[in-house]
Structure 1
Amino acid sequence: MAHVILGLLLLRPQSQYDLVKNFEAAVSLLYSASAGSIRRALETLLAGGLIEVAEVGPGARGRKTYRATGAGREEFHTWMTGPMTGPDAEAAALPRLFFLGLLEPAERADVLPRITARIEKDLGRLEELDERLDVQEVPDELREVFAYQRATLDYGLAASRFALGWFRDLAERGGVSDPR
């Protein structure tokens, strides 16, 4: 979540309230977070010197607006251009895709192949599991349970194949065209 917040703050300085609204409006489609988890992430980023308070509003509550520091920009860049980690390829890929426009065009070209390589790796694991299950003996009393477990795997295979094709196509086109 810290990297997603850094990306949002690189777009423009924002308060915690603004960040919560941005998560609700757009980012929640690819990454969900509660107001409390956003607050904790802001505190961690602030303590680590990756963000700073840009402005404190008037009044007793003094709404704080945050912005990324130079160290925060470097951390974000390292995350965007570094290896894809975590157990879920989609959860690792979509935030990078969301912020890909923040990178220079030459750097973007390197990110998309890493995303496709990660999806290929995960798809390979699902295909291996699929092959093992093809020869699996299933007791009669578990056939219905197994059928839905198999359907879950089939969904994962289909979703991974779609994602792989979609990201390959995007990479072959050299990214997205100007939306205007």
Structure 2
Amino acid sequence: MEYLLLGLLMLSPMTGYELQQFIKKNLALICSHSAGSVQTALSKLEREGKVMICETIEGKRRKKTLFITDSGRAAFSNWVAQPMQASKVKNMELARLFFAGLAKPEERLAAIRDYIRQMDETHRVLCTIRAYFQQMDQQQLPSGVNWPEVLRFQGYTIQYGIAAAEFEIGWYSRLLHELEEQP
């Protein structure tokens, strides 16, 4: 979570609420968007000197905007340059499939149907996000960032998610068909 927040702050200073809402809208499939998760990570980053808070007053409300520090930039740059780790990608829900033979046939069919429904929803959300990214006006984004390059790799992430959802929908649909034929 910390590196995700640092990455977002590399793009633009934001409040904790803005970070949480961005994650909820665009990255909820990658990580938790709960206020507690975001605030815990931000507190840790502030303690470590990787972010700083600038407090302003707007009307009667205090606004705490977070900025990434040089230390935070260095930590993020080091992290993002590391090779991706295949061993860190886990799907604990596969444990349910592994033990599905211990469930009643109607329970496992219902579970698989519901998982397909959830994957359909995930696919729909990702396609909506992809459409939003394709219509973005880069002129309205904060200056100082190579937005075409940033959006290019964010697009790859969305493409991956869509392809993964399509794979899971197809694979689980075939499994469901097989189990309906021979429970």
Per the normalisation by structure 2, the TM-score is 0.47
Per the normalisation by structure 1, the TM-score is 0.48
